[in-house]
Structure 1
Amino acid sequence: MNSETLREGGCQCGHVRYRLNGPPLTLYACHCRDCQKQSASAFGMSLWVRRDDFEIVSGELSFWTTRGDSGAEKICAFCRHCGTRIHHASDDDRTPFSVKAGTLDDTSGLQPVAHIWTKRAQPWALIDRERQPCFAEEPEDEELMRLWQAHHGSA
């Protein structure tokens, strides 16, 4: 993924459209139970961006709150028409948004820098543990951003 490229995305029904106006901070695959349920798959992809770099172009998001496997509270933003999850956030305005990377219009360049919550990974999910760092649970935020910077340069 070229961190200089402007990215756009949206929900499945097209009601919500958004734009990313700045470079990503990190991208990882999460195998926690919450991401498995949310994605209806083996894992979810989380693309962190600064809150100021996330812009709603059209439509309106709805919100609900839950707790992840780590116990941390997260605010989930989704399209109220089709239910597509757009991003997660905490109530701390200093933390980034975790955009659900599958909602980007072009996902062809996505390559996660790590896999997290691998202790919850489905046994049939193939993870190349020699090429990508893996964490049994959730590492420190700084570690995920450091891995991104090592592969893509500073954000």
Structure 2
Amino acid sequence: MKVDGQCHCGAIAYEAEVQEGSITVCHCTDCQAHSGSAFRANISAPAAGFRLVRGAPRTYVKTAASGAKRVLAFCETCGTPLYACAVEEPAAYSLRIGTLKQRQELGTPKRQIWTQRRLPWVTLPESAETFPGQP
């Protein structure tokens, strides 16, 4: 499915191809802090189908407790988180659902990760596959 998204202020826009129905919700503390919310909802887009069409995001490299490094991209004007990807030659981009115009059409989350860190009041569809940590 072709999607397009942008930051809140519109300075950065992108297009991508995603697999409908492949949303992942992450409950890790990094995603909670970076999103400013209880979790982050993402959908993967293969690098071959991802293209910036306006602007250039600001990025920084986050090193996880595991030692894995990820690029986090956001708008330097409005602060909207846009995506994450590998530091070098990303195979895919983890797009932030809230930035996509087609977010209503993507279906419900298919999996939840880091559920051991899920806040007790958060409930999502029981049909989603769950993992206590990183699968």
TM-score by length of 2: 0.89
Structure 1 partner of 2:18: 23
* Distance in 2, Cα, partners of 1:134 & 1:60: 34
CA offsets, 1:77-132, max 9 Å, x none? 11111111111011242531111111101311232110100000001111343x11
Q: Please state how far the C-alpha of 1:70 moved relative to its aligned partner.
A: 4.3
Q: Is the 8 A contact 2:24 2:111 kept in 1?
A: yes
Structure 1 partner of 2:112: 115
Q: 105, 126, 133: which one pairs with 2:129?
A: 133
CA offsets, 1:51-91, max 9 Å, x none? 12111111111110112354421111111111111110112
Q: Greater share of strand residues, 1 or 2?
A: 2
1:99 and 2:95 aligned? yes
Identical-pair percentage: 31
Q: 21, 26, 30: which one pairs with 1:34?
A: 30
Q: Is the 8 A contact 1:34 1:69 kept in 2?
A: no
Give the letter aligned to residue 30 of structure 1: C
Q: Where do 5+ consecutive residues of structure 1 fail to align?
A: 140-155
Q: Is the 8 A contact 1:29 1:44 kept in 2?
A: yes
RMSD: 1.7
TM-score by length of 1: 0.78
1:53 and 2:49 aligned? yes
Give the letter aligned to residue 74 of structure 1: R
Q: Where do 5+ consecutive residues of structure 2 fail to align?
A: none
